[in-house]
Structures are given as structure tokens and as C-alpha cells.
Chain A
Amino acid sequence: MLKVSDIAEFLRDDAAIETLPGDAAASHLYFGSEFCEHLFPDREALGRAIEVSGKLGLTLVLATPVANDALVAKIGAAAAALPETAEILVNDWGVANFLRTAYPRVCLVAGRQLAKMIKDPRVPSAAWMKPYPSSYGTPGHRRLLERLGIRRIELDVPPFATPDLFSVAGIDLSVCLPYAYVAKGRICKIGSLRRQLPEKFAPGRPCHRECLGIVEVGVNASPAGLVSSARGNSIFYRHDTAMAALVRNAVALGQVTRLVFSGV
């Protein structure tokens, strides 16, 4: 079993490691992409992920993004190749519906793109976060999860978050850290780098995955002290100390039962 010290060496991120309780152990290996249709792994890469997760004794979680029909078919093929214990992280209700029907035994987790909430790093005060509260945990949301056989949801931590973010009875909660993602689009600036002019910034065109090599690093902090950066089609920011403390507290209270660490 991988202990905190092993995870620390893997992450090399002291601030993020502080969020971990002392008895934490690595349990899952996430692989795939939550944000981009072009980063979904091919069969060979998925096979390697299955092999590595098996060697490490970790449960594989295949992360999936919003998908068109062609990608849904690829996700289906990947689902067929996964070990029985694997989970699939879905960020598209259609993908969830497809998998629940075609692969009823696969364990589905609802990704952070499906937990709608204001996460805008630019807002100057908590008042801006209030107009559109999240709907996870509402009766309609529970009925939907039940229909799709989903028992776990993943959340980002927004600016000015309060402890009630995690007050959701009857649903297992994961929290992603140390970065929160606020926006993604299908139109990708850097993904158009090698396209000819008329075909730039359009959906459904081939991508050379330039985002794997180049990141847009933000320069200025927002009034809340958060710096927005971008990778590929997504804008993200790193949690501040208040957000990290909130997560630590929720873990201590047993409200959050999985922490999902990621790079950018």
C-alpha cells in the first residue's frame, strides 16, 4: 500500500500534501482526461495504465470528458477492457446513461463538471457566489444519481467556499485538489496552432495535443488572490490556504472520503 510518504514523493507538492491526514493511503489511479475529447487515451496507453495500476495495487479510474457519439463509442470500448474493479469518472450525463445501459456493472463516479457551481476566481467577494447555488444534493439530483446508479460525486472547491459545500448526506464525496477548474470550451486556442486559417477555432478538427507541451501561466492575481492559468481548452487556478483548510476540515469530519490530486 502506498503511504503518505510515497504519495509525497510522487506529488512533490508540499502544500498539497499538508491536506492529507497522517493515515492516508493511495487507493486509486486516475487516468484519462476530464476536459478534452482529444486527450482520451488510445488502447495502448489504457493497457499500460491498467498494468501500472495493477502493479501498484491501485483501483483504476478512467476519467472521461464531455463526448460526442464517436467518443462515446471509444469510451464504450475502453469500458469493455477495464478490470472489474475499475471506476469510470463521467463528466457528461449522456456518457453516464450510455455506460449504465451498456455496462451496468461498471462503477460510475460523477465528475466535477457535473457539480455545477460558481467557481469564478475573479469574484471580489463572497456575495458574488450566492446567486446560483449548486444543485447537487437536491431531490432531483438524488433521483438522477439513483437512476444512473451513481453513489459518488467529485467536487472542486470554489473561492469563498463555506463548510456547507460538503454537507451532503447519503452521497460519497471526493474533492479535487490543489487546482479548481472554472471553464472549458470545445474551441481550443492552442489546439489550433498547427491548423490552417479557415479551420482554426472550430469543433471537430484534428488536434496535435500542443497543450501537453505548453501552458498559459497567469500573471495577475484576482482581488481574491487567485491566479487563473490555462491549459488547452480549460482555465484553472490553485486553491489558496483557506480553501485547503476547508478541505482538511471536511476530511477530518469524514465528509470527504477521497482526495484526488492532480497536476495541471
Chain B
Amino acid sequence: MKVTAPISRIDEIQALAAAGADELYCGVVPKEWIARFNTGAVNRRYFGNLGGLEELRDAVDLAHRCAARLFMVLNAQSYGGSYQDALVELASRFRDFGGDAVIVADIALIAELRERLPDLAIHVSSVAGCRNSAGVGLYRDMGVRRVILPRDVTLEEIGAMAKAADGVEIEAFVLNDGCVFEEGACHSIHLPPKQGGPICVDNRAFVYRDARGGQISERTARKLRENDEDYQRWLWYRFGCGFSTTAEGYPFGPCGLCAISRLEAMGVTSIKIAGREGATERKLKSVEMVRAVVDRVHGGGSHQDVSNYAVGIRKTEEHCRAGFMCYYPEVRWKEVRTLL
């Protein structure tokens, strides 16, 4: 099982590889792109990108010298027709530099790249929202090498897709990404904080209404208020527990560490650490944590041993017990634990 981690700067490569990352992924905003399109929107993030093609080439070389593979994200949900040639050109340059795969969300772009660059390795981004075996099959038939699953899938669903993957690699989330709405089904953008920020911080003002025009009972209103309070707590966990860390610097937030042994048993190829825009220290500590658990798995630990070890790393079991920090909370549900 590979550990896949984000970089935003070339000087992160050596440290992350040394900490245990087998695979790295990056974005790039070439100067030529900005000149041509007057935007830095080459992928889903305006920030956290390498600064140009020279840097991209150097990043590929350095990653390979560190025995890591490097992927490049072209992961906007969609690109219009005017961008197609530039995207193919960028992917082609990356391939020529020796880059290992592009990560693409827009299925139309996947079809275009496959047609024009048949030897380009393509990974389907989590933003594509592939949630079933038939989807994996479609991408397999389109010639992709890997499908990165969205965050909100169950272990049982991952197992079914991995079983049916038939040669396609499967990657699953293990740390740090906190979108609330499914990336592939969210058609909004991250606005500046004053204008609302990401839509999923859910700071809309609203009132509950009975859909049939009646009155909401006092009992239901109370339950709704309590549920809203629980949801606010869940949002806090979802957004990295306020982007906090332990005293040792290990990040809190969305996490699937205790499920790693189960993911490995299902045949998952790689586990993904999200957060290209994050601080280098956060990335390093994330890789350290994931690598430690993977090593424990490779050392032959049982599911329960690995899970206990993973929960113990941050020494804050109360967060794990809350269940709100988990990508795969079912690991902790008695009724399904025996099935996994």
C-alpha cells in the first residue's frame, strides 16, 4: 500500500519522501497559462501550486531521485472548450518531463486526453465522485490507471469497488480533506471569507418550515435545534478541529488511520493525504502518522491492533470516540465491525 501526499513547493519533496511518502501530487500554474487565459485556474486551487514548467520538471526529477512518483492535478470539475488544447499541451509536457500520472476530474477531459495522448497515465480524481463498480468499469474502459474514491464512501462500498476494479488501482482518503458537500456534486466556488467562503461552512441564515405548510411541533423544533448543535460540532471536526494539532504537531481533522489495515486487506493501492495548500509541517506530520500505521500493518498487526495503535498516536481518544473525525466511522460501530 502506497502513501500519497501533497506538495506545494519543490523543497517539500525530499522531506516528505524521507518521512514515508511513496507518491506525491502537485499542481502547477504556468506563466504561459496566465498570459493566455488571464486566470490562475489551472486546477481546483488558486494557491498551493508550483510556479511554472521549469519547477515542474525539477520536481519530477527530484521526486524520482527520492524514489517517489509525482502526479500532477488537472482536477477542476470542468474546463471549457477553449482550455482543451492548453490542457493537452500541459499534460504532454508533464509526461515528457517523466511525470508519472495526471489526476483528472472532468470525464470529458479524460476522454480528450485519452484520444490525444494515448500513453498518458491518468488517475481519476476524487472530484469525479466515482461511487460504484460500474463507474470504475467505465473509467477502466477509458484506459485510466487509477480511480481515487470520494471521501464519503463506506468501507463496504470501497471493498465492492476494489473487488470489481479488475486492474484499475483504487486510492482512498485517509487524512485531512474536509469538504461537506460531495466535491463532484458541488457547483460552487470558494469565495473570499467576507463573501461567504466555501459554501460548505454552512453559515447561511435559515428557518425551518413544514414542507406541507403546517406547523412544526415544539418537540420537533427542539430536536432540530439539538441536531443543529450536533452538526456544528461535526463541522468543527470536519474542518480540522479548528485546524489544530497535538503538541507534537500531529494534525486533527478528517481521518481514516484506524481503517488502514482494512483498506489494505481490500486491495486498496494507495491512501491519500489531502491538503496541498497546508503548511509543510502539517504535511510532514501527516505523512509520519500514516507511515507509522502502514508500517504497523505491513508488520502483520491485526485489524484491532492497528486500529488501537492508530487511535493512540494523537493521545486524544475522545476525538476518535466522538466519531465525527472519522472518514470510516463504521470501524467503531459494533454491528458492522464483524462484517469488515
Q: Are A and B co-members of a single complex? A: yes
The A48-83 residues at the B interface (CB cut-off 8 A) are 66-69, 71-72
| Closest Cβ neighbor of A99 among chain B residues | B134
Which of B83, B115, B231 is within 8 Å of A143, CB to CB?
A: B115
Q: A174 on the interface (CB 8 Å rule)?
A: no
Q: Which residues of A contact B329 (CB under 8 A)?
A: 198-199, 202
Q: Which residues of B contact A160 (CB under 8 A)?
A: none
Q: Mark B97-140, 1 if CB is under 8 A from A, else 0.
A: 00000000011111111010000000000000111111111100
Which of B112, B131, B181 is within 8 Å of A140, CB to CB?
A: B112
A122-B199, A144-B111, A199-B333 known; A94-B136 Cβ under 8 A = yes
Q: A187 on the interface (CB 8 Å rule)?
A: yes
Stretch at the interface among A2-10, A17-25, A125-133, A254-262: A125-133
Please state if B80 and A134 are interface contacts (CB–CB under 8 Å).
Answer: yes
- Complex alpha-carbon distance, A122 and B188, angstroms: 9
Q: B317 on the interface (CB 8 Å rule)?
A: no
Please state if A200 and B234 are interface contacts (CB–CB under 8 Å).
Answer: yes
The A148-197 residues at the B interface (CB cut-off 8 A) are 156, 158, 181-187, 189-190, 192-193, 197
Q: B182 on the interface (CB 8 Å rule)?
A: yes
Please state if B108 and A97 are interface contacts (CB–CB under 8 Å).
Answer: no
Q: Which residues of B contact A68 (CB under 8 A)?
A: 131-132, 153-154, 157, 160
CB distance from B142 to the nearest CB of A (A): 8
| Closest Cβ neighbor of A192 among chain B residues | B227
CB distance from A104 to the nearest CB of B (A): 14
Q: Mark B67-100, 1 if CB is under 8 A from A, else 0.
A: 0000000001111111110000000000000000
| Closest Cβ neighbor of B110 among chain A residues | A140
- Complex alpha-carbon distance, A193 and B228, angstroms: 9
- Complex alpha-carbon distance, A206 and B183, angstroms: 22
The B301-332 residues at the A interface (CB cut-off 8 A) are 321-324, 326, 329-330, 332
The A132-146 residues at the B interface (CB cut-off 8 A) are 132-141, 143-144
Please state if A218 and B230 are interface contacts (CB–CB under 8 Å).
Answer: no
Q: Give the most central of B41, B134, B212, B324: most A CB within 10 Å.
A: B134
Please state if A66 and B323 are interface contacts (CB–CB under 8 Å).
Answer: no
Q: B36 on the interface (CB 8 Å rule)?
A: no
Please state if A132 and B77 are interface contacts (CB–CB under 8 Å).
Answer: yes
Which of A69, A124, A133, A136 is within 8 Å of B82, CB to CB?
A: A133
| Closest Cβ neighbor of A141 among chain B residues | B108
Q: A220 on the interface (CB 8 Å rule)?
A: yes
Stretch at the interface among B1-9, B200-208, B289-297: B200-208
CB distance from A78 to the nearest CB of B (A): 15
Stretch at the interface among B12-20, B56-64, B189-197, B240-248: B189-197
Q: A253 on the interface (CB 8 Å rule)?
A: no
Which of B81, B137, B141, B195 is within 8 Å of A138, CB to CB?
A: B81
| Closest Cβ neighbor of B127 among chain A residues | A116
Q: B185 on the interface (CB 8 Å rule)?
A: yes
| Closest Cβ neighbor of A113 among chain B residues | B185
- Complex alpha-carbon distance, A260 and B84, angstroms: 31
CB distance from A134 to the nearest CB of B (A): 5
The B143-189 residues at the A interface (CB cut-off 8 A) are 152-154, 156-157, 160-161, 180-182, 184-189
Q: B54 on the interface (CB 8 Å rule)?
A: no
Q: Which residues of A contact B204 (CB under 8 A)?
A: 216, 218-220, 228, 230, 235
Q: How large is the interface on A (under 10, 10 to 19, 20 to 34, 35 or more residues)?
A: 35 or more
Q: B216 on the interface (CB 8 Å rule)?
A: yes
Q: B337 on the interface (CB 8 Å rule)?
A: no
Please state if A183 and B205 are interface contacts (CB–CB under 8 Å).
Answer: no
Q: B224 on the interface (CB 8 Å rule)?
A: yes
| Closest Cβ neighbor of B324 among chain A residues | A201
Please state if B182 and A184 are interface contacts (CB–CB under 8 Å).
Answer: yes
- Complex alpha-carbon distance, A38 and B249, angstroms: 40
Q: Which residues of A contact B41 (CB under 8 A)?
A: 131-132
| Closest Cβ neighbor of A121 among chain B residues | B188
Please state if A133 and B78 are interface contacts (CB–CB under 8 Å).
Answer: yes
B-binding residues in A (CB < 8 A): 66-69, 71-72, 92-98, 101, 113, 116-120, 122-124, 128, 130-141, 143-144, 156, 158, 181-187, 189-190, 192-193, 197-204, 212-220, 223, 228-231, 235
A-binding residues in B (CB < 8 A): 39, 41, 76-84, 106-113, 115, 129-138, 141, 152-154, 156-157, 160-161, 180-182, 184-189, 191, 195-196, 199-200, 204-212, 216, 220, 223-224, 227-228, 230-231, 234, 321-324, 326, 329-330, 332-333
Q: Which 5 A-B pairs have the closest CB atoms?
A: A94-B135, A133-B80, A140-B112, A140-B111, A116-B78
18 A-B pairs with CB atoms under 8 Å apart are: A69-B133, A92-B132, A92-B135, A116-B78, A120-B189, A133-B80, A133-B82, A135-B80, A143-B112, A182-B199, A185-B181, A185-B200, A186-B152, A190-B224, A197-B322, A200-B323, A204-B330, A229-B206
Given contacts A133-B78, A192-B231, 15 further A-B contacts (CB under 8 A): A68-B154, A94-B130, A120-B191, A132-B78, A132-B189, A136-B78, A138-B81, A138-B112, A140-B115, A144-B111, A186-B152, A197-B323, A218-B205, A218-B206, A220-B205
